[in-house]
Each structure stands twice: as structure tokens, then as C-alpha cells.
Amino acid sequence: MENIITSKDNPIIKLYQRLSSSKKGRLQYGLFVLEGLRLVEDAIKEEAAIEHILVTEGCQDKYADTLSQADLRNTKVIVISNELGKRISSTENTQGLFAVCHTPQAVKPESIFCDGGRYAVLYGLQDPGNVGMIIRTADALGIDGVISCQSCEIYNPKVVRSTMGSLFRMKIIVENDTDALFEMLENCGVASLASVIDTDAQPVTSLESRSRMAVFIGNEGNGLPHEVSARCTVRTTIPMTGTINSLNAAMAAGILMWEIRKI
């Protein structure tokens, strides 16, 4: 029993809580947290850099297979009391399984921009659920990379959860400087496609070229700032035939990525 952490003041518990609640903490340590069987399994399968896994005393047997996979990779597994599991969980009914991971090294632009590549730029998105859902959809539709600019932090636990493991697979660049973002795209010969709600923009269904192209998705409430859409190579729109002219940002991103995907 001496190996089970039971104190809420244990540094491992305090670290988990700080990483879970604080962007500053995640930046400071270069670590982020995961919760739940599905995400922890994905992290192991995708060979993410796991610092350690936490499992509650009551759940050790249930996750024996997963924990032995972790063990094969020399990943440290730490047992905590069921009470601490409840304490650090961000869900009402915790699955009792957690991990602390290292944030990956920054992806180099050269490594994601390829011939015929398709990209999504998240510009000023603030809802973690939207950001996560876009990363997951990009992964499913074969988008070659995601670039985050002035959007919510991708290691926010809510983003991590809603990517459903795609965070470990998708190549993601964070570039919060707008000038540097456009410079990077231009240097790599990638056209920029501003998505706007504007009847004089080109319908996404009639774009001439769809390759080596990055589609810009704007903020949930305000869309793309005018000065950003004006700098893009092409302005495009999703033709809507219904009674409203508005889609959720993640849904708009999904339809745009679907239209520019490789077929």
C-alpha cells in the first residue's frame, strides 16, 4: 500500500491539477494532461511522449491490458487513491485513468507543406470544442496540417478531449503572428483561402484549384477580420440555400475541408 498516493498535497497530484487548470502551467512545464481510457490508449498507440500515467486503485485491474502496454514502453504508472481520482477528474464520473504528456516539439513548416497539400488555419477561434472538432475532422478527411493563429490553446483539456486522439496524429503549427503566418504560407507557395459569409465571394463548389491551399476559418462570433480576408489569395463562401446564412464555425470548417480534400 505504501506506493499508492493518497495525499492531495503530493507534488504529482498538484502538478496534474496545475496542468489541468492553467495554460501558464502547461507552458511553464511543457506538459499537458489527458483523461480517460480512449485518450490514454491513443497516446500509447501513437507513441506520444508520456511523462507518467495515473490510475486509481480501484481501476488497476480493469485497465491491466492498457497498463501493460504502457509498461512495455517503460512508461511510469503511478497508483492514486480513488478519492484523488475523483478530485483531479474534470468529469462527473471519472474513468480513473489519466496521463501527463510532453507537448511535442514545434512542427517545422517545411515538414508539413508538401506538393498538393491541403491545410486549415484556425484564426481567432475561441471555443475549445470547436477547435478540437476541427482537428478531429481534419484528421479524418486527410488534411495535411492545421495552423493555429490567435486561437484557444490546443493543449487545453477540452480541446484535447474533443480531438478524440487526433491531437497525436495531426501536424499542428502554432503561429500567433499574422504577418509571420502569411509569410510562412507565401514562402512555401501555399495559397490562402479566406472563408467568409459574403455573396460576392467565390462559392467553394466552384474553386478552380484546391491543392496547396490553406483554408482560413474565423472566430465563432465575428468571422475573419477584414484585414485578414483581404490579404488572402481567394475569398470563398459556402453557398447556403436555407433560411439562415450561418453555420457553426466547426461545421463550416468541416464542409470547407471536405470540399478542398484530396479525392
- Residues of this chain that interact with a copy of itself (CB under 8 A) are 129, 133, 136-143, 164-166, 169, 205, 239-248, 250-251, 254-255, 258, 261-263
Query: Closest CB to a copy of itself among 4 and 247?
Result: 247
Q: What distance, in Å, lies between the first and last C-alpha atoms of the chain? A: 56
Work out whether strand 97-102 and strand 50-56 pair parallel, antiparallel, or are unpaired. Answer: antiparallel
Q: What is the closest distance, in whole angstroms, from the C-beta atom of residue 117 to a copy of itself in the complex?
A: 13
Q: What is the closest distance, in whole angstroms, from the C-beta atom of residue 251 to a copy of itself in the complex?
A: 5
Rounded CA-CA distance 199/203 in Å is 8
Query: Closest CB to a copy of itself among 106 and 140?
Result: 140
- DSSP letter, residue 219: B
Nearest of 219, 222, 215 to residue 257 by alpha carbon: 215
Q: What is the closest distance, in whole angstroms, from the C-beta atom of residue 81 to a copy of itself in the complex?
A: 30
Query: Closest CB to a copy of itself among 167 and 181?
Result: 167
Q: What is the closest distance, in whole angstroms, from the C-beta atom of residue 245 to a copy of itself in the complex?
A: 7
Rounded CA-CA distance 165/37 in Å is 11
Q: What is the closest distance, in whole angstroms, from the C-beta atom of residue 130 to a copy of itself in the complex?
A: 10
Asked whether the beta carbons of 47 and 76 are under 8 A apart, the reply is no
Q: What is the closest distance, in whole angstroms, from the C-beta atom of residue 250 to a copy of itself in the complex?
A: 7
Nearest of 232, 121, 114 to residue 174 by alpha carbon: 121
User: Cell 514562402 identifies what position?
Assistant: 187
Q: What's the Cα-to-Cα distance from 160 to each of 72, 99, 139, rounded to whole Å? A: 25, 12, 14
Query: Closest CB to a copy of itself among 56 and 163?
Result: 163
Which phi-psi region, left, alpha or beta, contains residue 196 (left: φ > 0; alpha: ψ -120 to 50)? beta
Q: Which residues of 157-171 are buried (b: 16+ CB within 10 A; e: fewer)?
A: bebbbbbbbbbbbbb
Query: Closest CB to a copy of itself among 176 and 246?
Result: 246
Query: Closest CB to a copy of itself among 7 and 245?
Result: 245
Asked whether the beta carbons of 173 and 145 are under 8 A apart, the reply is yes
Q: What is the closest distance, in whole angstroms, from the C-beta atom of residue 196 to a copy of itself in the complex?
A: 15
Query: Closest CB to a copy of itself among 53 and 250?
Result: 250
